[in-house]
Structure 1
Amino acid sequence: MLFFQKRAESVLPPPPASDIGQLRTRIESQELPHHAREAAKRELERLEKTDPSAAEYGVGLAYLDFLLGLPWAAVTPDRLDLAQAEAVLDARHHGLGQIKDRVLEYLASRALRAAPDFHVLVVDDEDIARANLEHVLRKEGFKVRGAANGLEALAEVRRSEFDLIVTDLKMDKMDGLQLLAEARRISPATRVMLVTGFATVDTAVEAMRQGAVYYLAKPVNLDELRATVAALAKEKTAPASFRSPVLCFSGPPGTGKTSVGQAIAEALGRRFHRISLAGLRDEAELRGHRRTYVGALPGRVLQSYARLGVANPVFMLDEIDKIGKDFRGDPAAVFLEMLDPEQNSQFVDNYLEAPFDLSRTLFIATANDLAELSGPLRDRLEVVPFRGYTTREKVRIAAEHLLPRQLREHGLTHPFPTVTEEALRLTVTGHTREAGVRNLDRELGRICRKLARLRLEQGEGQAVAEVDAALAAALLGPPPYRGETAGAAPRLGVATGLVYADYGGEIISVEAIRMEGTGELLLTGSLGEVLRESARTALSLVRSRAGELGVDPGLFASQDVHIHIPAGSIPKEGSSAGLTVAVALASLFSGRLLRPDVALTGEITLTGKVLPVGGIREKILAAARAGIREVLVPEANRPEVAAMAGEDSPEVLVRHVATVFAALPLALA
């Protein structure tokens, strides 16, 4: 039996020496972490014992090729030039001041952390000895400071962090061993080298036991000192310990979230990679399949690293709020490990089954609605909000960025036609209603296509040289959007409110009438439950303070109240209309007219307190577009209004109110 078994084994074809040999050479020559090298060796040993005609042989080859193709140690050096980075961001994007500041702050931190300087503190109570050591080390290019005793040295350690302390052992007030213990307690990363003229074996052993990195006897061998300090300086690895933040760009579509991520990669000098997560439902797409399955593949995360060839790219997780989940798992759970700086250095793909370090990557996520993210995932993200652009900003973006690109794409370059600012403003206000500029880019493309047709039909000599507002209106047709405008005359029971939608701010009219009835409250206009509760709260407040408003309390029981917000086909939800409804009801029952040039926003309580709301910037800009002169906002929103001072501030007077009764004298005519 043994004879036949050996004979059968002898006729099996040997594994291809080229495949096995090449893999062994790659494993030995490539710079791999210990766990990856061991996994590769185990797989290679298994492969050597496998029949090349077996399916497992091809699986093993693919696994080893993928493992060795990952960039375990390959990184691109960061370009930490703040001026260059700012120039890149400014050239690619107009506005977005807070986002650019956040990126530059990150680069500044990286630049300071990656500084190559090696700081040394020399401590000796003999002035000549200390001065000599300082001179020698300073000539070697190190940053050196001195201290006359241990107490002075501790004061220096508390003020600044040193990479190395070179200290005498015998000193007044505090000896070298005491300084060693205190310095390591204050700054655990600082190394300490002891120098003494009373060198003994016992003191050397005690110094090393307490954490000293070296022990020198006096008189000091300067060559030995230089070599030792140089070796310690070479081991400095501070930049590798920098933990990159996980930024999450949140905001409406078309505001430049993805393109800002690309600009960050360009400013850093890193490679950029984007994964679209919209509709992703299978967790295995990210984390990979186990090799027990036929046709198993690594996850999209590690596949991206293998294609990029570097371990520190700028990695964009686009549309992270649109991930789905079903019986195949929750893909968002993978990000709990990927995006946690405490865990992602040991990210394990099911296919690779060996930890891969993701901590050197700068992750950027984008989301339209943060409410769709789970609490644990949102906790790992540093949210950077993208707000909508003002009309003035959109016009500048169109003139400086969008229009030149569209003209080149449509061949309108000999010569470039001129598009006036009025034509761009007409396009922005009448043909787009969005927070970003994506639809604006499409409308500019429509203009360019029509101009291209006219140029071909009429010839170069008759080409349109300038597009003014009238020509833009003729090219684009009737405007689909007409914004609300402020009324011309004071009105009874009709208040102007401010709301925030996906496309930015807008003004609305809140209309209130009363009629004979039984005290019923009617609400129309496709209102959500929050808005309905705000209206009930406002009516209860007005009824409870009827005496202060000069209203007969009996009216509320004998009359019905009907509150309506026009555009009934559009659903309305939110918590910023309470103040507007309360003022409209106060006007209705008191008989005093409301000013048409005053708009309000804010939520209220039953006691009349005005609560803060969101979207203040967009609401004030909407009021300015509609011709509003005064805007009443909650007192608690004063910081948001103050933040607008540096922008293209609209010509609107903003007043802050803390209660409904502080707003009434300002709103009533």
Structure 2
Amino acid sequence: MPTFGFDGKKSPETQTLPMMSLREVVMFPKSIVPLFVGREASIKAIEAAVADYGKQIFLVTQKTPETEHPEADDLYRVGTVSKILQMLRLPDGTIKVLFEGVSRASWDPENDMIPYGEEEGDFPKAHFAVLDESKEATSEAKALIRAVHESLDDFGKVNKKVAPEAILAMSTIKDPGPLADQIMPHLKIEFSRKQEILEELDPSRRLERVYELLLGEIEIVSIEKRVKGRVKDQMEKNQREYYLNEQVKAINKEMGREDDPQAEALEMVEQLEAKPMSEENRERVRKEIKKMRTMQPSSAEYTVVRNYIDWVLDLPWDDIKDDKDVDIVQARTILDEDHFGLQKPKQRILEYLAVQTLVETMKGPILCFVGPPGVGKTSIAKSIARSMDREFLRLSLGGVRDEAEIRGHRRTYVGAMPGKIIQSLKRVKFNNPVICLDEVDKMSADFRGDPSAALLEVLDPEQNYAFNDHYLDLDYDLSKVFFITTANSLEGIPLPLQDRMEIIRLPGYLENEKVEIAKGFLMPKQLEQHGLKPENLKLSENAILDVVRYYTKEAGVRNLERELASICRKSAMKIVEEKNREKVISITRQGLQKMLGVTKFSYGEREEASQVGVCNGLAWTQLGGEMLLVEVVLMPGKGKVEITGKLGDVMQESARAAVSYIRSRSDLLGLKPNFYKQVDIHIHVPDGATPKDGPSAGVTMTTALISSLLNIPVRHDLAMTGEITLRGRVLPIGGLREKLLAAHRGLIKTVLIPFENEKNLKDVPKDILKDLEIIPVKTMDEVIDNALQAGSETVWHKKHGEAPVAAELLKDELQRPARQ
């Protein structure tokens, strides 16, 4: 019989039969399939086939199962001529039909379909042609048939839904085409792939593809059996545990126990599964819960394990407070509302917030605010949290000397607890707060460990994603926490810890800045705290300036706030005494002493006149910059050098270096080579009760010593800072801004600074620089030329060929009038 292929050409042997479309079912020749039919058109097609076409019908699969009334384009081009073996009508109007596939057939959707209603009946009919296929079995096909027969045995063993008789019947088929058609109805694959097999006309290729699908089905069925077996075993185990737990509940109830440990353990397991932690951590906690279930509640170890599990379950493992897109303008407004000045820290925070809005995840930075007390280090950390809409935590590390305060105690006794970091996260219930580690430079170490070393892991962005607390003994992610540390000085912070942090210095405030802070921040706060209205107390700006100058001496504003609080208290007492809440108290500069008493400090610390052996130095302290007066006197003696004023090792070494430098330059200064053997030198720094140390007093000591030896006064309106080498080089120093603030406060006009510190002048306010003459110097020669009240020809004798004058220095009258 001529074939009818996919080119759409008909042969003379075409036939016409009723057509019925199938949903997600593909009918194959030589196979018997029962189907339930409910569509009206399909039922009429079946009735017509039984009545008029010898029970023959053409079955074609729909491309889209959802289509209710398929058109020609909705059907595949290859179907199966089938025979209706049985038909049974059901009470609901549907019929159950048993079909047997006869042969493949092809039809043309454009020309071969007679649509609904064009001829008798309301069902479609189609012209089709039966497709021939080769029946010759090659040697390769015979080998393939044998392999399929062997696989059918395995398929029958793993798939109990296929009857053994069906497997036996398929094993007797020797032709590749019919064998493939018989196997296909038993495979659970998509109907589209079954349609591809139906359209394959080469029997050998068809069987090869069916063999591939058969092997895949065997593997899938085997996996399903294993999975079902595991699920069944787990269900049996769970049912057994449930039964035993119910028994335990009943026993506890009979014994009068209110709390059920087993029920608590099950509840803990449910909470644990809901926690977003790593599977490794979760498995370790499961073991602890399992251990707890086997313990007696009255035992001490039970309490330890129970507390541990409670800690783990209460921690916010990955609970993040939603970070909304940060409004930079609003954040800047918040920072400016809370703090006056501090532009550099504010700018750094705004940069971080800007980057955070551009990236989805960002490692929390570690900022270290370094500055004197009272400049707002901790309060700006609070403002950062408010601008980021995050929770804020403050941990004071001052005096902490136990490593367990950071890493926690090991879980070996009843009172063990996690470290302060983990405790704080439990309290705040979010894993991305702003944590301020206050006074990080005040930690110390002893036999219990070094807490600053424990902080290395906490503050290292490359390590803190897996922070291991000794108590938890689980890796905890701290990378989303915004850590801020504060310190008064870097000297107390170990270098490895400094390397983990970004240092931001907060310098002291200027006088005008303190006045603005008092007016805009401190006074409103104190008025509210003391129950006063703004109209009750009028404090003039000159009065505030006098409070800054004569009643406080600090870099910050803490003492200034105390003095303003004192004014508010005394004002409140007057109002209460007079019983007049509307009373207005005006305080001017003249009436300030009535409120605060006599002045505590003098404004302008420089000497009134230039003196021999007296030099103004500049020092940095934790309270900011200060004037450091150095005095030198000479006495007849045998070369003894005495240093007083409670100086540290560094300043004592600077004094000895100054003496050595002058001895090396004795010929240029007009001194005898052995001058130091005939005099005793006493170097003193006043205010002996205050410890002093630092590497910036060498220049000052050397100048004062040369002034005393040459009997030439040092300018009283000049101050200097810097360290020297034995060759007379002036080395750079730190804290230049604070030192210049102290010089400005002391009414100094000229300041000598190391040449290498000239670049740091950009950090100094312009209000300060305009009132000071800054002279950068490289060597001690330049310092002497600018500091002493004498010309170079008077100081440097050798330059002009003059004879040494050291003999004059050693006369009995050492206190002769100074040379001007």
TM-score by length of 1: 0.74
TM-aligned CA deviation for residue 111 of structure 1: 2.5
CA 647–104 in structure 1, closer or farther in 2 if over 3 Å, else same: farther
1:22 equivalenced with 2:267 (yes/no): yes
- Deviation digits for residues 133-187 of structure 1, max 9, x if unmatched? xxxxxxxxxxxxxxxxxxxxxxxxxxxxxxxxxxxxxxxxxxxxxxxxxxxxxxx
1:39 equivalenced with 2:284 (yes/no): yes
Map of 1:99-178 to 2, 5 A cutoff?
Answer: 99-112=345-358, 114=359
1:574 equivalenced with 2:820 (yes/no): no
Give the counterpart of 2:507 among 387, 394, 403.
387
Q: Separation in 1 of the partners of 2:654 and 2:447?
A: 40
1:643 equivalenced with 2:643 (yes/no): no
Q: Contact between 2:728 and 2:781, CA under 8 Å: does it hold in 1?
A: yes
Q: Separation in 2 of the partners of 1:515 and 1:52?
A: 83
Match in the other structure for 1:257: 377
Q: Separation in 1 of the partners of 2:690 and 2:473?
A: 52
Q: Contact between 2:536 and 2:583, CA under 8 Å: does it hold in 1?
A: no
**AA partner of residue 759 (structure 2):** P
Q: Contact between 2:304 and 2:413, CA under 8 Å: does it hold in 1?
A: no
Bigger shift: 488-497 or 552-561? 552-561
Q: Contact between 1:613 and 1:637, CA under 8 Å: does it hold in 2?
A: yes
1:542 equivalenced with 2:787 (yes/no): no
Map of 1:410-429 to 2, 5 A cutoff?
Answer: 410-413=530-533, 415-429=535-549
- Deviation digits for residues 279-321 of structure 1, max 9, x if unmatched? 3344334333444422443333222212211111111222223
Match in the other structure for 1:503: 623
Map of 1:236-315 to 2, 5 A cutoff?
Answer: 239-240=360-361, 242-315=362-435
Q: Separation in 2 of the partners of 1:508 and 1:329?
A: 38
TM-aligned CA deviation for residue 466 of structure 1: 1.7
CA 539–648 in structure 1, closer or farther in 2 if over 3 Å, else same: closer
SS at match of 1:636: helix
Q: Separation in 2 of the partners of 1:621 and 1:561?
A: 32
TM-aligned CA deviation for residue 267 of structure 1: 1.3
**AA partner of residue 514 (structure 2):** K
Q: Contact between 1:434 and 1:502, CA under 8 Å: does it hold in 2?
A: no
Q: Contact between 1:624 and 1:650, CA under 8 Å: does it hold in 2?
A: no
Match in the other structure for 2:217: none
CA 56–593 in structure 1, closer or farther in 2 if over 3 Å, else same: closer
1:407 equivalenced with 2:527 (yes/no): yes
Match in the other structure for 1:70: 315
Q: Separation in 1 of the partners of 2:383 and 2:630?
A: 44
1:654 equivalenced with 2:745 (yes/no): no
**AA partner of residue 356 (structure 2):** R
Map of 1:214-225 to 2, 5 A cutoff?
Answer: none
- Deviation digits for residues 327-352 of structure 1, max 9, x if unmatched? 43333333222222222112223333
1:353 equivalenced with 2:599 (yes/no): no
CA 474–282 in structure 1, closer or farther in 2 if over 3 Å, else same: same
Aligned residues: 536
Q: Separation in 2 of the partners of 1:288 and 1:506?
A: 41
CA 595–354 in structure 1, closer or farther in 2 if over 3 Å, else same: closer
TM-aligned CA deviation for residue 401 of structure 1: 0.7
Q: Separation in 2 of the partners of 1:632 and 1:468?
A: 38
Q: Separation in 1 of the partners of 2:589 and 2:306?
A: 66
- Deviation digits for residues 33-78 of structure 1, max 9, x if unmatched? 3234323433444444445565555555544433222212211233
SS at match of 1:584: helix
Match in the other structure for 1:13: 252
Q: Separation in 1 of the partners of 2:674 and 2:416?
A: 77
**AA partner of residue 398 (structure 2):** A
TM-aligned CA deviation for residue 484 of structure 1: 5.4
Q: Separation in 2 of the partners of 1:624 and 1:286?
A: 43
1:84 equivalenced with 2:342 (yes/no): no
Give the counterpart of 2:344 among 94, 98, 112.
98
Q: Separation in 1 of the partners of 2:425 and 2:703?
A: 59
TM-aligned CA deviation for residue 658 of structure 1: 0.8
CA 505–283 in structure 1, closer or farther in 2 if over 3 Å, else same: closer
CA 635–65 in structure 1, closer or farther in 2 if over 3 Å, else same: same
SS at match of 1:580: helix
Q: Contact between 2:303 and 2:414, CA under 8 Å: does it hold in 1?
A: no
Q: Separation in 2 of the partners of 1:328 and 1:593?
A: 55
CA 342–419 in structure 1, closer or farther in 2 if over 3 Å, else same: same
- Deviation digits for residues 229-254 of structure 1, max 9, x if unmatched? xxxxxxxxxx33x2222222222222
Q: Contact between 2:657 and 2:725, CA under 8 Å: does it hold in 1?
A: yes
**AA partner of residue 577 (structure 1):** A
Q: Separation in 2 of the partners of 1:69 and 1:548?
A: 77
- Deviation digits for residues 544-584 of structure 1, max 9, x if unmatched? 33343344556544333333333333333222222222222
Q: Separation in 2 of the partners of 1:282 and 1:64?
A: 25
SS at match of 2:252: coil
CA 491–273 in structure 1, closer or farther in 2 if over 3 Å, else same: same
Bigger shift: 82-91 or 12-21? 12-21
- Deviation digits for residues 67-114 of structure 1, max 9, x if unmatched? 2222122112334322222111111111112211222222232223x2
CA 400–564 in structure 1, closer or farther in 2 if over 3 Å, else same: same
Work out which structure has the larger RCO, using CA pairs closer than 8 Å and 6 or more positions apart in sequence. Answer: 1
Match in the other structure for 2:12: none
Q: Contact between 1:524 and 1:568, CA under 8 Å: does it hold in 2?
A: yes
Give the counterpart of 1:620 among 723, 737, 740.
740
Map of 1:362-373 to 2, 5 A cutoff?
Answer: 362-373=482-493
Identity %: 43
TM-aligned CA deviation for residue 655 of structure 1: 0.8
Q: Separation in 2 of the partners of 1:27 and 1:592?
A: 82
Q: Separation in 2 of the partners of 1:70 and 1:296?
A: 17
TM-aligned CA deviation for residue 612 of structure 1: 1.2
Q: Separation in 2 of the partners of 1:665 and 1:396?
A: 40
Q: Contact between 1:33 and 1:72, CA under 8 Å: does it hold in 2?
A: no
TM-aligned CA deviation for residue 380 of structure 1: 2.0
Q: Separation in 2 of the partners of 1:353 and 1:571?
A: 44
CA 36–627 in structure 1, closer or farther in 2 if over 3 Å, else same: same
**AA partner of residue 407 (structure 1):** L
TM-aligned CA deviation for residue 630 of structure 1: 0.8
**AA partner of residue 594 (structure 1):** V
TM-aligned CA deviation for residue 406 of structure 1: 0.3
TM-aligned CA deviation for residue 613 of structure 1: 1.6
CA 595–372 in structure 1, closer or farther in 2 if over 3 Å, else same: closer
Instruction: Structure 2: give runs of 5+ residues left out of the alignment.
Output: 1-243, 254-259, 790-820
Q: Contact between 2:399 and 2:443, CA under 8 Å: does it hold in 1?
A: yes
Q: Separation in 2 of the partners of 1:302 and 1:551?
A: 68
Q: Separation in 2 of the partners of 1:498 and 1:55?
A: 62
Give the counterpart of 1:332 among 452, 463, 472.
452
* Root mean square deviation of aligned Cα: 2.8
Q: Separation in 2 of the partners of 1:311 and 1:635?
A: 48
Q: Separation in 1 of the partners of 2:281 and 2:373?
A: 41
TM-score by length of 2: 0.61
Bigger shift: 647-656 or 17-26? 17-26
**AA partner of residue 254 (structure 1):** G
Match in the other structure for 1:119: none
CA 483–563 in structure 1, closer or farther in 2 if over 3 Å, else same: farther
Instruction: Structure 1: give runs of 5+ residues left out of the alignment.
Output: 1-5, 115-238
